[in-house]
Homo-oligomer: A and B are copies of this chain.
Amino acid sequence: MARERKFSKEELYQITKKLLLDHGYDGYTFTLLANQLEVSRAAIYKYYDNKEELLIEYMVFELNTFLQHLKEISKKDTFMDQFEALFDIIFNDMSIYKIREIGMHIPTVNDKVAAYKKKLDRLHVELYDSLQGFIRLGREEKVLKEDIPSNLVLGMIFQTVNIPNTTGLTHLEWVNTLKKVICHGMFRNAN
């Protein structure tokens, strides 16, 4: 009982992501967003009271989809299989880490945002638990060195994604080299 929408939530999220990566939290504006969506700025206010509400909702969406992918990997039996799958997920969308960090900057401007933030926190706990299981398996299988803190293991994986591949290597070659380095280091001989 209404007219057709000029933009979908998918479009909105996709453009939001691009704008966040290009301009950061402070540089993200409804003016930019409206231009990209080719609607008037006021149209966006039909759905969101301010950019904080939009962004926090987007963050929840982003973390949710990431979690769904992540849960797939916990179905794999061996640590190595899970490790490979985790790598695939992260390299499939290399911007998640950056996006998550930008998300930290969203101020709690009202109750709605506060509620979403709580939801985000719960998702982060889920994320942490899921990854914690992955690391536990690695230790149980005696693949991971046991003296390495778990957040270092995860940090290595999440951060190295951002190293720009400026070599002539293909994506696959690059990722494989990266994997090797993470697993066995850059040095020839142990000492």
Contact = CB atoms under 8 A, between A and B. Distances in A.
Interface residues of A, number: 37
A134 to B, nearest CB: 12
Contacts of A155: 160, 163-164
Copies of the protein in its oligomer: 2
Nearest to A167: B149
Interface in A24-50: 24-27
A166 interface: yes
A166 B132 CA distance: 14
A2 interface: no
Interface string A151-176: 11101100110111111010000000
A145 interface: yes
Given A24-B24, A26-B23, A26-B27, A169 B149 contact: yes
A169 B181 CA distance: 24
A156 B163 contact: yes
B182 A183 contact: no
A142 B191 CA distance: 13
A143 interface: yes
Contacts of A167: 149, 151-152
A155 B190 CA distance: 21
A152 to B, nearest CB: 6
8 contacts: A24-B25, A143-B187, A144-B187, A148-B181, A151-B167, A156-B186, A159-B162, A183-B185
Interface of A: 23-27, 142-145, 147-149, 151-153, 155-156, 159-160, 162-167, 169, 177-178, 181-188, 190
